[in-house]
Structure 1
Amino acid sequence: MNTHAQMSNIGVIGLGVMGKNLALNIADNGYHVAVFDLDHQKVIATVEQEQAERLADKAPRMLACNNISEMLNNLATPRVIVLSVPAGAPVDGVCQSLIEAGIEPQDIVVDTGNSLWTDTVEREKNYRSQFKFFSSAVSGGEVGARFGPSLMPSGDESAWKYVAPVWSAIAAKVDAETGLPIERFEPGNPVTQGEPCTAYIGPAGSGHYVKMVHNGIEYADMQLICEAYQLLSEAIGLSAQQVGDIFKRWNQGSLNSYLMGISAEVLQQQDPLTGKPLVEMILDKAGQKGTGLWTAVSSLQIGCPAPTIAEAVYARAVSTQKDLRVQLQHKLAGPQELSLTDSEKAEFIDNLEAALYCAKVSCYAQGFQLMAMNAKEQGWTLNFAEIAKIWRAGCIIRATFLQSITKAYQQDPQLANLLMADSFNQTIAEKHLGWRKTVAQAVMAGIPAPCISSALAYYDSYRCETLPANLLQGQRDFFGAHTFERTDKPAGEKYHLDWSAPQRTLSKL
């Protein structure tokens, strides 16, 4: 049994990078934590790190466990156990081990991995009689987990009341007025003021769905910045250092974000081996872990347009085709390079800044529309102002831009699309010409900009009261008798033209 003065408040199983740092974060905030991993060296390393980082006047707050039974015996009831293990079979494997070790129905198991949201829904059903399966998506990487992540919990509301105080304590914090992160990266000295970047999302699976869309937006946001880098490099011949300087300047304005900031740093970093810009020595093949793909697939399944997120996934796929690109670079015809004067280059940079902002709005509009459509399908009630708020710090897409999204949904919680918010559509009205010029110049220069251009196509599609889908429905009726509705008849009435008859007749079905 526990030799501490009190039972541990919470258990953490899985002490990889994320699990270890979550455990240390929880301990920093005054909770007693029991930890376990199949690799006992990770248990020892985590406890030793807590000991080394603990302030001198603080008592030990971490208990090393040799097995799951020992952990259960040393947790206060109802037991709260956090899982930080790879998504998929490992989650169910740990759940079975907990059942065998004697977990009880009132106990709470919190999955913090990148699980597919539908798996989470099934797990809550499957384990309902044995314990309360809860989930919480975590964003922010290693540093976020250690000093304040963005947390997206969902599941049993009675379980949330036990998890909520811990989550509020360990989450990233922001200034309520400015929306700016309040950050401190000191072990043993957590940030306690400000609004926590966590809120109850909704029923089982909703938190992981929101995190999945977050990651889809992250894919697109990263690709947008990468396209801006390529345009500045190839269209007007700027060096990596010069592009980094521009990104650093943009990061002081409306494009301020974690991703813009780190992009500037990456571009300004010299390679320790050659002295060249490090970015030029990094092979242009991008990996992915699947959450962007899941977002794109979900948008297709629901019928919600999210072209910029999908194009970001495709861009990574194209990047992996390095050998084919090398073979085709001299075989495929392209235009001549742009020839711009210094003043034209300055205008190009300004237009690109406008394009990046507008495309970012379009991308977020796609993500929030996707969450809204799936929420309607699943019967969830999602608070989009709260979701925007918890993304303002701790997560990878944190940006001052999210404060504007928060305000837009606070003013109109039923906002059908972010583009309907005056704060955004009025700003786009001022900037869209630069967006269009950027896309046109990218096309004329033969420089791919799939995310910037698809974001514009999304925007323009919603500007069109009439789309060519009328012709498409005519085509479908011609070859497959799929029927069509008429503009002059009530909605829902179906018609078919007998295209093969000598005298084509129209029939109502």
Structure 2
Amino acid sequence: MTETKADIGVYGLGTMGSALALNLAENGFRVAVTNREADWIDDFVKEEAALSGSFIPAQTLEAFVAAIKAPRTILFMIPSGDPVDAMIEAVLPLLGEGDTIIDGGNSDFHATRRRFEQLEGTGAHFVGMGVSGGEYGARHGPSMMVGGTTHSWEQLKPMAEAIAAKFNGEPCVAHLGPDGAGHFVKTVHNGIEYADMEMIAEVYSLLRDGADWEAARIGKLFEDWQEGPLASYLMEVSAAALQYVDPVTNKPMVDAIVDQAGQKGTGRWTVIEALKMGQSASAIEGAVGARGWSAERAMRGVAEDILPSVTLKEGAIPSNDDLASALLAGRILSHAQGFRILTAASEEFDWALDLARISEIWRAGCIIRSALLDDFAEAFRGELPHGHLILAPAMVEVLEKTIPALRRTVGAGVAKGIALPSLSGALAWYDSIRRARGATNLIQAQRDFFGAHGFERLDSDGSFNADWPPLA
């Protein structure tokens, strides 16, 4: 009897690939699996004996492709960059009309757009799919952001919706647009994630360094905030981490961890692309910068002994309610920056991104899932002057109540010499946005003075140059 072919193939049995393969199998799909290191294949199938009947292990790329029913759906869960290009080159000659390659890694969306174009006219299709939720999400239900052709989406949709996280029964996955749309949305998701993590860490720093609170006490406060508008996965994680005791020292685990945060590049990509499109990402840039500064730990140790210490000690740390309101305001502003970047990219690359739908697919499974995302989705579907989240009536109402607390919190950080790069960056952006007339008229005057770059006038149309006086 001929063996039933697989519904999908997963190439790459690392942490994420294995988790997604198991998720697919558990949801009733037959999965062909293979890996560059062939000994991983049998180990994977043996370890998952309960589901082994759902897998077709293949020792070669040819056998792997042949094991998948046409039109084939092949998911690459491999490192981004050159490995993806190498795999496309290797597998493309084995594919037929309508087959789809999916890159499920954190790839640069520019590379995804190039690969999408590379496959046009070959009969095969290329999909860039952002997957958020880490190992647990991949195994039990991630949030997924898909960019590719309608053909590929219709082919992938039943499987993607089956394995995705669910929010009130609705799958947290969507086809967001062609070529690099899915990977770009995932990139900005990660940029928002950087800002969210940094803002929580900044409040922790204010309480630890400014009010001498112990980790567990801060963790309990964060746990209490889970009952209100700050409810989120990252707040839950932070509360749990701060209250966890290190079995080696019997002290808070966070106090044993080196203050040096890693990064894989997606936050930095968000800032770079924002700047290219003329958008501000100050809250995200503050978070990326903070991780960069954290890496210079040896220099910071020397600088603490050399640079003048803070002498301004007046004022107390804001109340818990103020800190909660400041964090809420900062999170709204950082998300607003992220969504504005998505809007700019959608216009530049003709993607027609649905920001409400993006908000919805982030409500479960992904790292930035939070109570706010429902409010954002509703705002994007309602009255939205200039398409800007912070101008939605509901957001204006919340910001009116919380911005004063953000000002007091940033002021306390300045007075006590405690860096709050994301919270202060968010506030500076808000204050720039809310002013009809800023100070860049002077900058344009400077540009015309030294470079004759011209300027526009408030009282006349056209471009002008001034006859500036010579300098002594």
Shared topology, TM-score over 0.5? yes
Q: State the distance in 2 between where 1:408 and 1:140 align.
A: 25
Matched-pair contact (CA < 8 Å) for 1:384–1:413:
no
Q: Which residue of 2 aligns with 1:120?
A: 112
Counterpart amino acid of residue 49 in structure 1: E
Q: Could you tell me which of 65, 69, 74 is aligned with 2:62?
A: 69
- Are 2:200 and 1:225 aligned? yes
In structure 2, distance between residues paired with 1:124 and 1:9:
22
Distance 1:440 1:27 in 2: 53
What is the Cα deviation at residue 348 of structure 1? 2.4
| Match among 295, 301, 322 for residue 326 of structure 1 | 301
Tell me what 1:494 maps to: 463
Q: Is the 8 A contact 1:34 1:64 kept in 2?
A: yes
C-alpha displacement at 1:337, in angstroms?
7.1
State the secondary structure of the residue aligned to 2:174: coil
For residue 335 of structure 1, report the CA deviation from its aligned partner.
2.4
- Distance, in Å, in 2 between the alignment partners of 1:78 and 1:391 is 30
Local SS of the residue matching 1:134: strand
**1:208 counterpart (183, 203, 206):** 183
**CA contact under 8 A between 1:236 and 1:338: conserved in structure 2?**
no
Cα deviation, 1:231-288, whole Å, max 9, x if unaligned, reads: 0111111000100000101111110000000001111111111111110110001111
Q: State the shift of 1:155 in Å.
A: 1.0
CA contact (8 A) 1:11 1:81 kept: yes
- Is 1:143 the counterpart of 2:136? The answer is yes
**What is the DSSP-based 3-state SS (H/G/I as helix, E as strand, rest coil) of the residue aligned with 1:138?**
strand
Identity %: 39
The code of the aligned residue for 1:273 comes to: V
Match of 1:285 among 252, 260, 271: 260
Q: TM-score when scaled to structure 2?
A: 0.97
Is the Cα–Cα contact under 8 Å of residues 383 and 393 in structure 2 kept in the other structure? no
CA distance in structure 2 between the partners assigned to 1:338 and 1:386 by the alignment: 47
Could you say what the CA RMSD is over the residues aligned between the two structures, in angstroms?
1.6
Q: CA deviation at 1:97?
A: 1.3
Verify: 1:95 aligned to 2:88, yes or no: yes
Deviations 1:291-342 (A, max 9, x none): 00000001111110111111110000010111111001122223247477xx
Asked if 1:156 is matched to 2:131, the reply is: no
Q: Normalising by structure 1, what TM-score?
A: 0.90
Work out the CA distance in 2 between the residues paired with 1:475 and 1:414.
32
Q: 1:241 corresponds to which residue?
A: 216
User: Corresponding residue for 1:357?
Assistant: 328
Q: Which residue of 2 aligns with 1:180?
A: none
| 1:260 counterpart = 2:231 | no
**Structure 1 residues 36-69: Cα deviation after superposition (integer angstroms, max 9, x where no partner):** 10112321232223323x4xxxx82111001111
- Whether contact under 8 Å (1:235, 1:338) holds in the other structure is no
Aligned equivalents of 1:135 and 1:466: distance in 2? Answer: 41
**Counterpart in the other structure of 2:125:** 132
Kindly indicate whether the alpha-carbon contact (under 8 Å) linking 1:232 and 1:349 is maintained by their aligned counterparts in 2: no
Q: Which amino acid aligns with 2:447?
A: R
Matched AA of 2:114: E
Residues 29-44 of structure 1 aligned to structure 2 (within 5 Å):
29-44=27-42
Residue 356 of structure 1, CA deviation:
0.4
Q: Do 1:385 and 1:413's aligned partners in 2 also have CA atoms closer than 8 Å?
A: no
Shift of 1:499: 2.1
Q: Give the partner amino acid of 1:357.
A: L
Q: Equivalent residue for 1:377?
A: 348
Shift of 1:129: 3.0
**2:292 corresponds to 1:317:** yes
2:6 aligned partner: 8
CA distance in 2: counterparts of 1:212 and 1:415, whole angstroms: 24
- Report if aligned partners of 1:105, 1:129 keep a CA contact under 8 Å in 2: no
Q: Is the 8 A contact 2:215 2:243 kept in 1?
A: yes
Deviations 1:414-450 (A, max 9, x none): 7521110111111111122111111111100111011
Query: Is there any run of 5+ residues in structure 2 with no aligned partner, and where?
Result: none
Where does the alignment leave 5 or more consecutive residues of structure 1 unmatched?
176-193, 503-509
Q: Kindly indicate whether the alpha-carbon contact (under 8 Å) linking 1:172 and 1:197 is maintained by their aligned counterparts in 2.
A: yes
Between the aligned partners of 2:86 and 2:274, the Cα distance in structure 1 is: 30
- Distance in structure 2 (CA, Å) of the matches to 1:500 and 1:65: 78
Distance of 1:333 and 1:414 partners within structure 2: 46
